[in-house]
Structure 1
Amino acid sequence: MAEMLFNPYLELIFDEHFCFLTGDLTNEKMSVFPQWLMDHFKFGDEKIEMMDKTKSYTYADLELPCSPKVKKAFDELDLKIQEAYKDGYEGMATLDEELVFQWSGRMVYGLLYYEMLYERDRLLRLGEDFKLSLALRERFGQFHLMLQSIIEPVSFVGKKPWSIAIFPLKYSADIFSYRDDAINLMFSFGVNGFGFIASLQDAGIIGESQKDILDKMKGHVLHPIQFEELYARFHYSDYILQYKPEFNIESSENGITIEALPIEGTAEKPIFGFWDENIFAQLLSNYWSVYGIEREDILRFQKPPLSFLENPYSKEFIKPETITLPF
């Protein structure tokens, strides 16, 4: 059955008249970012740049061609998320992870779709063919298949393909924090009440690598600077992951099942490469720039690197209420 489902990465089909998820001919569109979210936080008119920084759109401009069936499915999902959102962390924490995957996956895939369109059109102007490596075609094609679970009998069994962490978070009431890395399929979302971080196709290995700090966080309402540090840890872990996540995908007359396969390292090649504090500090300083914290403040002479998640000496979790920075 997997062979029967639309996969735009086989022929690199990205066209405004073909539904992004089913390939059906259509004239309908849906927003990449949920309309209620843009209305609530009033960011529809704000600019978002493509990866190479030469092209930008407003968030409201970003739309995906979709069939009526797909639009209806995502509208229904939006209602579920919106209802959970009203109850803050307690509401979000009760959601099935698959719903969080589909909801965040819609936004990440939408941005990925626009990256594909931009690159295709850029090469077309140069008289060149649009190509993707086989590795990227496989990765994005698998992600697209997983996202089709919202409308097709695609189910996840055993070990899930993603790492998703949801936690209480304190922000000023009108602040909405969002980060993504569409190429590496990562997403973070934070508002007053809760936040979540999703690595959408890591076979769960990044969540496992951060289990110690995630366990220490339990029962605490994170300060935003801790949220940014946690996402930086997830993001950098993805960067140094030395194995490609693999999935067992099986088709039957009843549908498709997807199971993430365990990732096992060796002494010669561990699961993660060397954690370079210099590179991590540079990444973290990008996220902490709003607080005026620079790389030199993180890498302190003859001291452990600065952290707001763990005491560098005792490794105890730093209680959010002891952090005096604004939120």
Structure 2
Amino acid sequence: MSLTLFNPFEDLIFDEHFCFLSGVLTTERISVFPQWLMDQFKFGDEKIEMMDKTKSYKYSDLELPCSPEVKKAFTNLDLKIQAAYEKGFEGMESLDQELLFQWTGRMVYGLLYYEMLYERDRLLRQGEEFALSAHLRERFGRFHLMLQSIIEPVSFVGQKPWSIVVFPLKYSADIFSYRDDAINLMFSFGVNGFGFIACLQDNGLIGEKEKELLDKMAGHVLHPIQFEELYARFHYSDYILQYKPEYKIENQEDGITIEALPIEILENRPIFGFWDEDIFAQLLSNYWSVYGIEREDILKFQKPPLSFLENPYSKDFIIPESIDLPF
């Protein structure tokens, strides 16, 4: 007999009376963003917008219904991450990536949960039915299954479903940089000492695509503008990924194993589509706006695109200390 676990995307169950992860009836709640993180960087009272920009919440008001078991599991995980955080880059790098997946996944799923609630309520007010495409139901359902590994016998074997990279990063003290794309299950996090980027369901394809650059970065402490460019590269790569990640999921009585399957590449269809420098420059300019860098500065006539990661001619990694910009 196989193990049966809760999947809210089967019947689109997003209700404050049911634990977001296990589905059991509950009155407990847990914050989407770890309390220690909000306290450390004092962003609990700041606002975060939903995707359509018409609704916003305070970070501290974002909470998920959860069972005592789930709350305890994430509380213990928070303690492990906080202890690693206090050791800086070395502490974070030493963590098992599955822990980073679960910790990051709680925040990304929490934002996804609120997007589902908002869209459901918006449609109800208009007298319309809330629905998701079969593709999104499957994708989000699998992500939810993977996140249940924190409380259930769900394990990962072989190729992991994610790309997670951790690297040294220099920021001014008390600055916290965070970006997410809940629909595409992406997340970036940067503070003074380290940063990490997580693509939570790409089957490692984007990390492999950027391996050459990541190898060049080894041993260097990134400048923040390099961190933003790296995340932009991961984000755009996810956009042009032409194959849906597939999994081998084996469900036995004693647990579930998940293995990311290799891509079966079709003729004339590479893993990643065409890299459009114009589109990428527009995306990158959004991340670089704090430096006053616009799309027109990135793309100039008869010049290669501006980069702070690689010399456009030699492809050598740009030494962070040579970048004369604030951090």
Aligned to 1:152: 152
Aligned to 1:124: 124
Where does 1:130-141 land on structure 2 (aligned, <5 Å)?
Answer: 130-141=130-141
Q: Distance in 2 between matches of 1:224 and 1:66?
A: 36
Aligned to 2:236: 236
Aligned to 2:13: 13
Q: Are the counterparts in 2 of residues 264 and 271 from structure 1 also a CA contact under 8 Å?
A: no
SS at match of 2:318: coil
Aligned to 1:197: 197
Q: Could you tell me the TM-score, scaled by structure 2's length?
A: 0.99
Distance verdict in 2 for CA 1:57–1:29, change over 3 Å:
same
Q: Distance in 2 between matches of 1:44 and 1:65?
A: 19
Q: Distance in 2 between matches of 1:3 and 1:117?
A: 28
Q: Are the counterparts in 2 of residues 78 and 103 from structure 1 also a CA contact under 8 Å?
A: yes
**Alpha-carbon deviations, 1:52-93, whole Å to 9, x = none?**
000000000000000000000000000000000000000000
Q: Are the counterparts in 2 of residues 206 and 237 from structure 1 also a CA contact under 8 Å?
A: yes
Check if 1:41 corresponds to 2:37: no
Where does 1:177-326 land on structure 2 (aligned, <5 Å)?
Answer: 177-326=177-326
Where does 1:158-177 land on structure 2 (aligned, <5 Å)?
Answer: 158-177=158-177
Where does 1:34-73 land on structure 2 (aligned, <5 Å)?
Answer: 34-73=34-73
Could you tell me which runs of 5 or more consecutive residues in structure 1 were left unpaired when the two chains were aligned: none
In structure 1, what residue type is equivalent to 2:272? F
Q: Are the counterparts in 2 of residues 205 and 263 from structure 1 also a CA contact under 8 Å?
A: no
| Aligned positions, number | 327
Q: Distance in 1 between matches of 2:165 and 2:145?
A: 22
Aligned to 1:96: 96
Q: Distance in 2 between matches of 1:9 and 1:192?
A: 38
Q: Are the counterparts in 1 of residues 3 and 255 from structure 2 also a CA contact under 8 Å?
A: no
Percent of residue pairs identical: 82
Q: Are the counterparts in 2 of residues 17 and 25 from structure 1 also a CA contact under 8 Å?
A: yes
Q: Distance in 1 between matches of 2:11 and 2:289?
A: 41
What displacement does 1:264 show?
A: 3.5
What displacement does 1:265 show?
A: 2.4
In structure 2, what residue type is equivalent to 1:251? N
Q: Distance in 1 between matches of 2:217 and 2:236?
A: 19
In structure 1, what residue type is equivalent to 2:28? E
In structure 2, what residue type is equivalent to 1:87? K
What displacement does 1:2 show?
A: 6.5
In structure 2, what residue type is equivalent to 1:244? K
Q: Distance in 2 between matches of 1:3 and 1:202?
A: 25
Distance verdict in 2 for CA 1:106–1:2, change over 3 Å:
farther
Q: Distance in 1 between matches of 2:142 and 2:264?
A: 21
SS at match of 2:70: helix
Q: Distance in 1 between matches of 2:90 and 2:178?
A: 20
**Alpha-carbon deviations, 1:89-108, whole Å to 9, x = none?**
00000000000000000000
Q: Are the counterparts in 1 of residues 3 and 253 from structure 2 also a CA contact under 8 Å?
A: no
What displacement does 1:176 show?
A: 0.1
**Alpha-carbon deviations, 1:262-297, whole Å to 9, x = none?**
124234111010000000000000000000000000
Q: Are the counterparts in 2 of residues 26 and 67 from structure 1 also a CA contact under 8 Å?
A: yes
Aligned to 1:32: 32
SS at match of 1:108: helix
What displacement does 1:253 show?
A: 2.0
Q: Distance in 2 between matches of 1:56 and 1:12?
A: 22
In structure 1, what residue type is equivalent to 2:218? K
Runs of 4+ in structure 1 over 4 Å off = none
Q: Are the counterparts in 1 of residues 3 and 252 from structure 2 also a CA contact under 8 Å?
A: no
SS at match of 1:136: helix
Q: Distance in 2 between matches of 1:312 and 1:268?
A: 28
Distance verdict in 2 for CA 1:2–1:60, change over 3 Å:
farther
Could you tell me which runs of 5 or more consecutive residues in structure 2 were left unpaired when the two chains were aligned: none
SS at match of 1:19: coil
SS at match of 1:288: helix
What displacement does 1:3 show?
A: 5.9
Q: Distance in 2 between matches of 1:214 and 1:2?
A: 40
What displacement does 1:254 show?
A: 1.8
Q: Distance in 1 between matches of 2:2 and 2:221?
A: 42
